[in-house]
Amino acid sequence: MKRPLTIRLCGPRGFCAGVDRAIQIVVLALKKYGAPVYVRHEIVHNRYVVEGLQARGAVFIEELDEIPPEHRDCPVVFSAHGVPKSVPADAEARSLFYLDATCPLVSKVHKQAMRHQRLGRHVLLIGHAGHPEVIGTMGQLPVGAVTLVETEEDAMRLARPEGEELGFVTQTTLSVDDTAGIIRALEKRFPDIKAPAAESICYATTNRQDAVKEAAPGSDLFLIVGAPNSSNSKRLVEVAERAGAHRGLLVQRSSEIPWDEIGDISTLGLSAGASAPEIIVDEIVDAFRERFDVTVELAITAVETENFPVNRVLRDVELTSADMAFVNGSA
């Protein structure tokens, strides 16, 4: 006889509008121009999505010099995380045709940073070193114009560049609570520091963290579907544990669930990072149904209706129902 298990399924979860748009751009480019379509860096941080696009004819590269000379006329797509200004400049120097899939909310942070600089401020970027979004945001401004701040300790140690005002922006996928602590530390240290004109952490990050906070208290285990290099997914694991889950775990597929280690659980929290498709959430629920008598409870804290249009040059291409199922993560 199967043991009873309540799954608290979070909403919103999974794909956000920026991820949906980025995947759609690659699929539309493949339909309009044919394979190969080159993609600089993972279009989003999810192996299932990357492999699905590879099967359709996308070729993933890290740098533009990997594109063979005979494929110079093929499109190259820049990932949703954004790129430094040097990347489109390099593409133009190589006479490459590129499509920018940068999330509009990341582009907004770029503009916030550039506005700070235009007003004569040294920019403090709250974020994680080495993350593609951070590299892209820092690359919007000249070398030395941006200082990265990762922790409250960094904020308290920071020395103001002589004679300069300060302004801050943040990576879009951070922990809301951690970021608030860093901002408080910066404002305590530098009372005249200027905030961006609008919130930098994106709506999808905030919404997914709020839903996890709702579902976490009393959960024996909290699974987050996401990749180990996905910042927003890793933050969800941290949020779950801080909000009362006994244990949080990041998995990419049901095959990664450590069945021998999960113990005698009765309540499971389940959510997915913004680049994780719904089909994997379904796969995980089905895997638990095979082993437990499952009851699903919904923990819904918001309803998302955002939609970001694709590049104008791709708007004349129509997607089939199968294409749309892949784009929205249900296939």
Has residue 312 been placed in a domain? Answer: yes
Q: How confident is the model at residue 162 (pLDDT cuts 50, 70, 90)?
A: confident
State the CB neighbour count (10 A cutoff) for residue 254. Answer: 19
**Residue 104 clears pLDDT 90, i.e. is over it:** yes
- Where residue 160 sits, what CATH number does that domain have? 3.40.1010.20
Q: What does the pLDDT average to over 129-143?
A: 96
Domain check: are 223 and 143 in the same one?
no
Domain interval for residue 111: 105-189
Among 160, 189, 218, identify where a domain stops. Answer: 189
Q: Return the pLDDT at 330.
A: 86
* CA separation for the pair 209, 217 (Å, rounded): 13
Please, are residues 82 and 44 in contact by the beta-carbon 8 Å criterion?
A: no
Q: Could you read off the pLDDT of 46-69 as tens digits, one per residue?
A: 999 999 999 999 999 999 999 999
Domain check: are 98 and 110 in the same one?
no
List, as own/partner pairs, every contact residues 65-73 make where C-beta atoms lie below 8 angstroms and the sequence separation is at least 24, other chains included.
66/38, 67/38, 67/94, 67/96, 71/36, 71/38, 72/96, 73/97
Q: Return the pLDDT at 200.
A: 84
- Where residue 25 sits, what CATH number does that domain have? 3.40.50.11270
Domain check: are 172 and 223 in the same one?
no
Predicted TM-score (pTM) of the model is 0.94
Q: How far is CA 62 from CA 18, 20, 65, 76, in A?
A: 21, 21, 9, 11
Q: Return the pLDDT at 139.
A: 97
How much is the mean pLDDT over the chain?
A: 95
Q: How far is CA 169 from CA 73, 173, 289, in A?
A: 37, 12, 44
Q: How far is CA 54 from CA 5, 37, 49, 180, in A?
A: 37, 9, 9, 39
Q: What does the pLDDT average to over 183-188?
A: 96
Q: What does the pLDDT average to over 14-42?
A: 96
Domain check: are 264 and 274 in the same one?
yes
Query: In the chain, what is the straight-line distance between the N-terminal and C-terminal CA atoms, in Å?
Result: 32
Which tokens hold the place of 296? 């699903």
Q: Could you read off the pLDDT of 203-229 as tens digits, one per residue?
A: 999 999 999 999 999 999 999 999 999
CA angle in degrees (0–180, nearest 5) for 184-185-187? 65
Has residue 99 been placed in a domain? Answer: yes
Domain check: are 295 and 207 in the same one?
yes
Q: What does the pLDDT average to over 129-137?
A: 96
**Residue 161 clears pLDDT 90, i.e. is over it:** no
**Residue 105 clears pLDDT 90, i.e. is over it:** yes
Active-site residue flag, 297: no
Q: What does the pLDDT average to over 231-253?
A: 96
* Nearest CA-CA partner of 54 in 26, 24, 96: 26
* Candidates 51, 133, 164, 238; catalytic one: 133
Q: Return the pLDDT at 205.
A: 92
Q: How confident is the model at residue 198 (pLDDT cuts 50, 70, 90)?
A: confident
- How many domains are contained in the chain? 3
Among 157, 189, 221, identify where a domain stops. Answer: 189
Has residue 226 been placed in a domain? Answer: yes
* Nearest CA-CA partner of 10 in 264, 276, 259: 276
* Nearest CA-CA partner of 113 in 129, 124, 128, 127: 124
Q: Return the pLDDT at 199.
A: 81
Please, are residues 306 and 202 in contact by the beta-carbon 8 Å criterion?
A: no
Has residue 209 been placed in a domain? Answer: yes
In sequence order, the β-bridge partners of residue 91 are: none
Domain check: are 21 and 43 in the same one?
yes
Among 189, 212, 240, identify where a domain stops. Answer: 189
Domain check: are 144 and 76 in the same one?
no
